[in-house]
């Protein structure tokens, strides 16, 4: 067996058979959920465990929006002081 489940996704027994990610809402850096990182190493922002609206797991490291409800994962841009 090649480590993939029957639907072609990589297996990771810690997260129910599919690889899931934590995502930084500031820089959109993705981290496999199986790692113990809770904060972004780039900017210290708390990583999202799933969609903040519907709680669906993040199943792609490239996701910018929730696949279930369409909510954006990125925080709104902050205006820099003049």
Domain count, the chain: 1
Q: 25 lies in a domain?
A: yes
| 34 occurs within a structural domain | yes
- Residue numbers in the chain where pLDDT is lower than 50: 1-15
- pLDDT score at 40: 96
Q: How high is the pLDDT of residue 10?
A: 43
What pLDDT is attached to residue 77? 74
1 within domain boundaries: no
66 in a structural domain: yes
Range of the domain at 65: 10-74
Is residue 58 situated within a structural domain?
yes
The pTM of this model reads 0.71
Close Cβ partners of 45 (under 8 Å, ≥ 6 residues apart):
24, 25, 26, 27, 39, 75
pLDDT of 16 reads 55
**Residue 17: predicted pLDDT:** 63
Instruction: Note whether residue 32 is domain-resident.
Output: yes
Residue 80: count other Cβ atoms within 10 Å of its Cβ: 5
């Amino acid at each position: 067996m090649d480590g993939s489940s029957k639907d072609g996704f990589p297996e990771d027994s810690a997260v129910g058979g599919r690889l899931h990610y934590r995502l930084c809402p500031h820089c959109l850096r993705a981290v496999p959920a199986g790692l113990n990182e809770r904060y972004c190493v780039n900017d210290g922002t708390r990583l999202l465990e799933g969609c903040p609206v519907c709680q669906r797991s993040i199943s792609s490291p490239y996701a910018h929006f929730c696949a279930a409800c369409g909510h954006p994962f990125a925080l709104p841009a902050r205006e820099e002081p003049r």
